Amino acid sequence: MAVVTGERTGQAPVITTAGLTKHYGSVHALTDLTVDVGEGVTGLVGANGAGKSTLIKILLGLLEPTGGHARVLGHDIEHESQEIRRLVGYMPEHDCLPPDVSASDFVVHMARMSGLGASAARERSADVLRHVGLDEERYRPMGGYSTGMKQRAKLAQALAHDPRLVFLDEPTNGLDPAARNDMLRLVERIGSDFGIAVLVTSHLLGELEQVSDHVIVLDGGHLLRSSATGDFLQRTGSLLVEVVGTETERDRLGEALAQRGLVCRPRGAMVAIDPPPSELAQEGAAHDLIRDVAAELGLGLMRLQPDRGHLEDVFLDGAPRV
């Protein structure tokens, strides 16, 4: 499988894996994964069971891989996992908070378990709880927290010891749209303002499109693609046209353009035009043609824009590998 690193040259990768494989009997959780992860926010996308959590647990040294190698922050996962666990933070997907302890006490304790002294742990935990947005409620037992507050507390304990890298496993799970947005903004800030490298998983592509610099797509334990988020969203060469009016106007434009040799199809209220044929390929020719056709038909042009790809397309294009 090819190594795809996007445009990450110049700095040492935060995570590198080579042929990483994990099989549970006949279940292949991860197969021959070779990938690099750099600074900033990296999204790890895949359906449930695609191998995202397995990868994180292997990198933390909690699971032994069946084959392959990996390094995290320059440390080998096989021999230096303790050193790795000192430098990384981990926010698991599932519930992991004792209900009878306050977030404040819990985060202090977890910071101490990462090697911070008593007073440093208290100071750091107050700082981190403020950053994740837990205010007065930090002194209440966590059993009474909403899902959003629990996710924040889980995030706080992952950041308590100022790690150089955090693994966030499905941080938006179970959140309502507003809380989901808050969490995503927070993830973005951790990667940019806090300067902590982030590996964040999600089964929702759209979410990671918003916050990550780089996206790794896993499917059934295989690497489907790894590249900068921008590459996923680059122009496809298609055009989108919208005219004033209803579907009738849309279809009139579409039919007229088709007669002039463009391949059109309706998409919502717009006409999607496939990359123009060679005679119209030079800069602006297709745009001029569309403008002229709209004018001839007496239609008001509302929008004429290049179409962009979506992360979802990876699953459509790159037919699942076996």
Partner 1 sequence: MSDMSRPGVIHDLGYRHYDGLREGTPAIARTLFVTGLRHVYGLGRSGKSKVMPFLLLAMSVLPALIVVGVVVLTGLDSLPVSYADYTNQTQLLVSLFAAAQAPVLFSRDLRHRSIVLYLARPLSAPVFAVMRWLSLTVALWLFMAVPTLMLFIGAMLSGLDKSDQVTQLLKAVVLQTLLALLIAGITGLISSVSLRRGFAVVGSVMALIVLTGVVTAVQAIAAEQDADSASTTAGLFSPWSLYSGLANAWDAGIDTFVPVDGAWAVAYALVALLLAAACLLALVARFRKVGSR
Site residues, partner 1 (CB under 8 A)? 57, 60, 62-64, 82, 85-86, 88-90, 92, 94-101, 105, 109-110, 112-117, 120, 124, 127, 131, 157, 161-162, 189, 193-195
CB of 174 to partner 1, least distance (A): 15
Q: Exposed e or buried b for every residue in 194-214, given b needs 16+ CB within 10 A?
A: bebbbbbbbbebebbbebbbb
- Which CB, 196 or 271, lies closer to partner 1? 196
- Which CB, 156 or 270, lies closer to partner 1? 156
**Residues composing the chain:** 322
* Among 189, 188, 155, 149, residue whose Cα is nearest residue 170: 155
DSSP tag of 31: E
CA–CA gap between residue 4 and residue 222 (Å, rounded): 13
- DSSP H stretches of helix in the chain: 52-59, 81-87, 103-113, 118-132, 147-159, 177-192, 205-211, 229-232, 247-259, 285-297, 312-317
* Angle between helical axes of 103-113 and 147-159 (0-180°, round to 10): 30
Question: Which token pair is 106?
Answer: 């819990």
- Which CB, 106 or 315, lies closer to partner 1? 106
Residue 315 DSSP SS3: helix
- Which CB, 89 or 221, lies closer to partner 1? 89
Question: Which token pair is 146?
Answer: 């909403």
Q: Return all residues near 188 (Cβ < 8 A) that are at least 6 apart.
A: 41, 210, 211
- Which CB, 89 or 254, lies closer to partner 1? 89
Of all helices (H) and strands (E), which one includes residue 213? none
Beta strands 27-37; 15-24: pairing state: antiparallel
- Which CB, 12 or 62, lies closer to partner 1? 62
CB of 299 to partner 1, least distance (A): 52
- Which CB, 90 or 315, lies closer to partner 1? 90
